[in-house]
Amino acid sequence: MSQNWTAEIRTEEGKGASRRLRHAGRVPAIIYGAGKDAVSVSFLAKDVKKSFQDNDTYNSVLNIDVQGGTAESVVVKDVQRHPATGEVSHIDLQRAGADNKLVKKVPLNFIGQAVAPGVKLGGLMSFLQATVEVSCVAKDLPTKIDVDVSNMEAGSSMRLSELTMPEGVAITALSHGNTDYDQSVVNISKPKRK
């Protein structure tokens, strides 16, 4: 999934300049990576607020039309928010070239909880991880990873290595070659005896 954003080049840097931008209804941001110089830009705050209402924005390729500059394909690397209001105060964007690998946290979407045999027997399903860090090129970046738990029995667990990953996507924890990193993602307890 991709979105189109429009940005303006920022000529002033620093806290004071960023504060003035925010008061003018804009959000400061920086675009970096892919061996190119960083570019300071700003976005309309209302457009940013609307885009971040969709959680898929965090793991989507954004096409940035930089007025007075070149078009960029990026992903959101970090978002700073105001501590009291929760409004976005700054965005870090990483260039998403066709060949450079990205490392991002992707949410896990658990499906089939209600029909799992272990749950039907009275076991309690515990979700141990809500996200997983993956490595892939931008075009392969998933917005979420579905985890089918419909066949899990009581007393069983599912590990990172058991997740079905989309083509071209690798779990970074498993790339270490050590089984200690193969953590449990979800488990079902055995039902309590009465």
Q: Does 182 share its domain with 105? A: yes
The helix or strand, by DSSP H or E, that contains position 185, with its residue range, turns out to be strand 184-188
Q: Does 6 share its domain with 91? A: yes
Q: Which of 55, 170, 173, 54 is nearest to 102 (CA)?
A: 170
| Distance of alpha carbon 119 from alpha carbon 136, whole angstroms | 34
Residues 97-152 have pLDDT tens digits of 777 888 999 999 999 999 999 999 999 999 999 999 999 998 899 999 999 999 99
Note the residue count of the chain: 194
Task: State the amino acid at position 130 in one-letter form.
Answer: A
Domain count, the chain: 2
193 assigned to some structural domain: no
Q: Does 16 share its domain with 81? A: yes
Q: Does 54 share its domain with 79? A: yes
Q: What is the CATH number of the domain that holds 160?
A: 2.170.120.20
Residues 12-56 have pLDDT tens digits of 888 888 889 999 999 999 999 888 899 999 999 999 999 999 988
Q: Which domain holds residue 144?
A: 101-188
194 assigned to some structural domain: no
- Position 97 scores a pLDDT of 78
Residues 61-92 have pLDDT tens digits of 899 999 877 888 999 999 999 999 999 999 99
Q: Does 72 share its domain with 114? A: no
54 assigned to some structural domain: yes
13 assigned to some structural domain: yes
Q: How many C-beta neighbours within 10 Å does residue 84 have?
A: 6
pTM, full prediction: 0.80
Degrees, nearest 5: CA angle 104-64-135: 15
Q: What is the CATH number of the domain that holds 61?
A: 2.40.240.10
176 assigned to some structural domain: yes
